[in-house]
Structure 1
Amino acid sequence: MLKKILLPLLLVTITQAQSPNSTLTQRGGNHNAVFLNPAKLSSLSKDEKLHATFTDISLVVDKQSYDFLKALDHISSSTNKNQEISELLNENIGNTISISANNFSSIYQTNNNISWSLGIANGLDAYFIPHSGFGSKGAMESSMEKYQMIVGTLAMQQENLHYGLNLKSIKKTKKNYNYSIRDMINNDSLKDYFNNEQSNSENTIALDTGIVYEVLDSKLNYKLNLAVLDIRNTLSENVGKIPTTTNIGTSLEPYSNTILEINYLDLFEKEINHELEDSLRINLSKSYFNDTLKINTGLLYNSLLYGFDYQYSLFSIALHSYKLKDYRGKKERKYEVNIALTW
């Protein structure tokens, strides 16, 4: 049953891939920094063909959270809910149970001067913290954010300069709810914990802008980039305010088929509780077999990131592990599986 729940979460729920090789994106980022720089779209191969990502779905979870949600799903259809819920909560008191799921579909075309992309993204971030069942926080504290986004990207190249713009229409929904034992007994399936009841929703239009400078005649294919994200994003604290942030970065190819990327997010510290380790992202990738297989490693939240991407015909799969901060600021190692169908 848990698989039946997780799959719809993936299919109906911000984006990890604007293009097959994730040129525009990052792993483990805050949602306002998913598109590191829209100008990177024009750096793709200029084949002038129309490309489509029919679906690009990702699930991010840790073992403890998976086991808890699996047990909670089983209990939802049990005939002895009261006792089993109490036992499950007692075994997990104070633990942060978290799950993220997202889906992205897009079309894009790259030309010599102007490149464009249009995509639809849906995402879910959910946290559950079990308690003893007494007190103001009830049996289980929960926080859930859902995202729906339409993203249009336009990028152009003039000699060694690339310019880009994202126009985003965003709907964000946030739900904070403390479940009582009675609430949990009344839930008949796991999906009841992910509904939009007692939630707040807001809509906004926002812009991302970016520029990439290529150093000509460089053996290392050296690039510098600058981006300003979420300009005029008007979401309020009711659903989670997203500030305008400035990101800088660089990339180079020290060896054949090897790319080193270093990015620093939120240069002017607009995010709440900004820390250096939250902003520095380092990624080193090595491609094999004509870019069919890519091995990735790097640094995220001052912890090791590792994984691989494998492309076969129209299908691709990626598995990665990295640490993320939950909404209470605690770092936990997560595992991400990503499956995409492209043409």
Structure 2
Amino acid sequence: ADDYLTKPFKRQELLLAISKGLSAWRLRQQNQQLTEQLSEQQQLVELIGHAPCMQQLFQRINRISASHATVLISGESGTGKELAARALHQLSGRKGPFIAINCGAIPEQLAEAELFGAEKGAYTGAHQSKAGKFEAANGGTLFLDEVAELPAALQAKLLRLLQEGKVTRLGSHQEISLDVRLIAASHQDLAQAVQEGRFREDLFYRLNVVPLHMPALRERREDIPRLIQHFLQKSQQRYQLPAAELSKAALRQLMDYPWPGNVRELANRIERFVLLADERELLADLNTAATVSSGFVLPAEGLNWQQHERDCLLQALSRSNGNRAQAAKLLQLPYKAFLYRLEKYQLG
């Protein structure tokens, strides 16, 4: 009971007791909601962040997790794309497994059998029938990392699977119906890959039903102290080592570092620090690495990027006497990408 009244009681005392009871009930409801939200936050695997961009990401993941929609996750290497995919699966309520595969790590000649399965004798060395990753993920989620690396023939087969929800093993004509949620990811710009003819446009739209973008660590520096603490505790528990402490000066240097390898690089550095307990080694190459990662310094007043890119194209053409192939090499661009930019700025 939240309150009690002794008889006889006045009407105002009754109303006050009811008001207090309602307030207590609302408070319990709010506490329950907060507990559920914290529980959901814990389910987001190791996705940690209080920066506004991360809070938006968490809200988006929570909103789309229960649907069967295909999700395309973009972001630089090391930003946690697989962690986001795992969070989507964990919050989805799907009973099947979560299976992750890196498309860039599969030999091209084995990629079709690895993804779609193969019957006995379908290729040299196929001594028995084998289920592919899609079949293995039936009822669950399949995460295709670096999907831009898929060969063109497999892009067509993946498109058909997304359209019909069926898979045909290599060496078979029998279709197998599947219930698999597909999540794809790439550190490349897939829209640009479509423009350059490296990725199917129809497949891109099939994958990009719900886009998720993982922010780079330099875009959410306020999360670095929390991430450091998380990785310190994780490594200490893993190796059963005493707590290591960072000085304030070291923390400032870690905050100022641009982290080209993002959260993965931070995790590796903190793990090494816990093992060696050497702050000097942790910080030794930070300034050098930051300098090597980019020789360009953005002017304080900023710049007009489109004008800058156009000027680079014109200078490359001028230096190569109009030879487009040589100009593309000067800018270290694929030839098709170079032609696309010439057309974009009407320099053809």
Q: Which range, TM-score by smaller chain?
A: under 0.3
Q: TM-score scaled by structure 2?
A: 0.22
Task: Look at both structures and tell me which one has the larger radius of gyration over its CA atoms.
Answer: 2
Q: TM-score scaled by structure 1?
A: 0.22
